[in-house]
Amino acid sequence: MDSNQFRKEAHKLVDWMADYLEEVEDYPVKPDVEPGDISRQLPESAPEESEPFEDMFEDFEEIIMPGMTHWESPYFMGYFPANKSYPSVLAEMLTATLGAQCMSWLTSPAATELEERMMEWLRDLIGLPETFTGVIEDTASTSTLCALLMAREQVTDFQVNEHGFSGDQKHTVYCSSETHSSIEKGVKIAGFGRQNLRKIAVDETFAMKPEALEKAIRQDLEKGCNPTAVVATIGTTGSTAIDPLEEIANICSKYDVFLHVDAAYAGTALLLPEKRWMNEGIEHADSFVFNPHKWMFTNFDCSAFYVQDEALLVRTFEIMPEYLKTPEDQRVKNYRDWGIPLGRRFRALKLWFVMRSFGVEGLQNKIRHHIRLAEDLTNKIEEHKEFELLAPVPLNTICFRFHPPYISDEQKLDELNEKLLNQIQESGKVFLTHTKLEDRYTIRIVLGNTNLEHHHVEKAWQFIQDRAGNLIE
C-alpha cells in the first residue's frame, strides 16, 4: 500500500466509522455466533502474496463485524462500559499514525510532557491532593499490581527486588470480599501468595467493615505475619459499593500498612464535587487508580495511576542498561521506570483531546446525566411489585432481580433470574451481566454509555419486564 492508496482508504474508513457510530444502536448488541464460527472462516496460515485492501475490508465486514459485541451501543449495559467519544477516536488515529514508542523522554519528549500535564489536570479534576503524582498505565490490573509491588519493596526495604522472598515470614494483604479479582491476581503475581490474601467481610451496603479489617490485621500480627498492604475500593465491580476510606486509612496508619485505593470505575464520578465524599481520607492513601477508559469517554486503554511517593515507585521498577541511558536522565521523567513494560503507547493525547473537547463542564454534565438516568430507573424498579433492588445505587449501576411475590424459594429465584438474563442476552436487544450478592443471583444494569439517553433506558426496561412476564406465563 502506498501513500495515495492509504489516503483514499483512510477517507473511506472515516466515513465508515462515522456511519457505524451513528447506527450502532441498530446493531444486535451481542452477535448471534457460536464458539468457532469466526475462526472457521479464517485461513489457517498467512497469505504468501499481497492481497488488495478491498478484500481485507470486505472480510472485515463479512467475517469480523457479525462476530462483534457492540460496546458502543447504548443498549450495552453490562460489566462496566469501556466508553469513548469522537475526540478520543481522533486522537487514537493520530497516535497510531505517529507510531511513537514513549518509553523515555527522549523517545518522545512531547508525549512525556503531555502525560505529566494530563495527570496533573486529572488529579485536580478529581480532587486528589497535590502530593499525588500520576502516570498512565494500560489497565487498573496493572496499576494495582504496581501498587502491590511498591508495598512489597517498601516493607522489605527493597530486598525482594534484590534476593527474592526469603525466610518464613508471611506478608499479608487485605481487601474486601467484594473486591475485584485483579487484586487476587496481583497478589499471586507479586509473590505474596494467595493464601496470604485476607478477604474482609462487608456490611449490608457491601462495603468493607473496618472493624473486621483491624481484627484480621491484629490476628495476623499475633501469628507473626507482616501486614503489608490494604486495597480499598471506591465502587466495587458487583454493586459500586464504597469502602469507608477514612476509617480504613486510620487503621493503615496505626499499623503502618500500605494503602492502595481502587476506584477503577467510580473514579470518574469524583469529577463531581457532590461525589467527593467517596474519597474522604484519600490524602492518607499511598496510591490510587482510576480508569478514564471506563466511564470518562476515553478509548481503552487508559488507566490513571497516582502515587504519593514517586521515589518509591521509581526505585521499585527502575532498571538502567547502557543502551537506555540518555543525556537528559537527571532532568526528565522516563516513564519506562514507572511501571512494568518498557514500551509505552502515547495515551495522553486522547485524554488531552477528551478534556478539551468536552471541557470540565461537559464531562460533568454527561456523568450527572448518567447518574440521573440511574436514579430514575432505580425508582421504577423499587416501585415495581415484581422486581426488587439488591444493593444501594450510589452511582449508575443498578443491582436487581425479578421476584414475583408468590416465589420465596431462593434457589427458584436464582434459576428464574439466570434464565431471564440468558434470554435477554440471547435476544441481542440489550446486553446485561450478573453477579452474586449475598449469594443471590443478581442482574446488573450499568448506565454509562456515551450516547445513552432516556428513551434507550425506557426501551431496555420495558424489554426486561416483557421478558420476565413471558417467563412466568
Ligand X SMILES: Cc1ncc(COP(=O)(O)O)c(C=O)c1O
Q: Which residues bind ligand X (CB under 6 A)?
A: 80, 139-141, 180, 182, 233, 235-237, 262, 264-265, 291, 303
Look at residues 35, 28, 24 and name the one whose alpha carbon lies nearest to residue 427: 28
For the bound state, the minimum distance from the C-beta of residue 213 to ligand X, rounded and expressed in Å, comes to 18
For the bound state, the minimum distance from the C-beta of residue 262 to ligand X, rounded and expressed in Å, comes to 5
- 378 backbone dihedrals φ, ψ, rounded to 5°: -55, -45
State how far the Cα of 302 lies from the Cα of 289, in Å rounded to an integer.
Answer: 11
For the bound state, the minimum distance from the C-beta of residue 301 to ligand X, rounded and expressed in Å, comes to 7
Three cell numbers, residue 422: 440468558
| CA-based R_g, the chain, Å | 24
Look at residues 356, 354, 344, 351 and name the one whose alpha carbon lies nearest to residue 98: 344
Strand order across the beta sheet in which 226-233 lies:
133-137, 303-307, 287-290, 258-262, 226-233, 171-176, 197-200
Q: Are 123 and 306 in contact (CB under 8 A)?
A: yes
CA dihedral 464, 467, 471, 473 (to 10 degrees): 110
State how far the Cα of 233 lies from the Cα of 216, in Å rounded to an integer.
Answer: 18
Please report which residue ranges of 223-268 form alpha helices under DSSP H: 245-255
State how far the Cα of 463 lies from the Cα of 466, in Å rounded to an integer.
Answer: 5
For the bound state, the minimum distance from the C-beta of residue 80 to ligand X, rounded and expressed in Å, comes to 5
For the bound state, the minimum distance from the C-beta of residue 327 to ligand X, rounded and expressed in Å, comes to 35
Q: Which is nearer to ligand X, 88 or 233 (CB)?
A: 233
For the bound state, the minimum distance from the C-beta of residue 122 to ligand X, rounded and expressed in Å, comes to 16
Please report which residue ranges of 24-139 form alpha helices under DSSP H: 53-59, 86-98, 109-125
How many other β-carbons are positioned within 10 Å of the β-carbon of residue 181?
Answer: 9
For the bound state, the minimum distance from the C-beta of residue 143 to ligand X, rounded and expressed in Å, comes to 8
Please report which residue ranges of 341-452 form alpha helices under DSSP H: 348-383, 410-427
For the bound state, the minimum distance from the C-beta of residue 371 to ligand X, rounded and expressed in Å, comes to 17
For the bound state, the minimum distance from the C-beta of residue 286 to ligand X, rounded and expressed in Å, comes to 17
Rounded alpha-carbon distances, angstroms, from residue 225 to 95, 159, 228? 47, 17, 9
Angle at CA of residue 164, ends 158 and 167, nearest 5°: 100
Which residue is it, cell 501486614?
227
Q: Which is nearer to ligand X, 132 or 300 (CB)?
A: 300
CA 294, 307, 354, 88 dihedral sign is negative
Number of Cα atoms under 13 Å in the Cβ half of residue 42 = 11
Q: Which is nearer to ligand X, 139 or 196 (CB)?
A: 139
State how far the Cα of 470 lies from the Cα of 423, in Å rounded to an integer.
Answer: 10
For the bound state, the minimum distance from the C-beta of residue 189 to ligand X, rounded and expressed in Å, comes to 13
Q: Which is nearer to ligand X, 292 or 334 (CB)?
A: 292
Q: Which is nearer to ligand X, 240 or 316 (CB)?
A: 240
Q: Which is nearer to ligand X, 156 or 236 (CB)?
A: 236
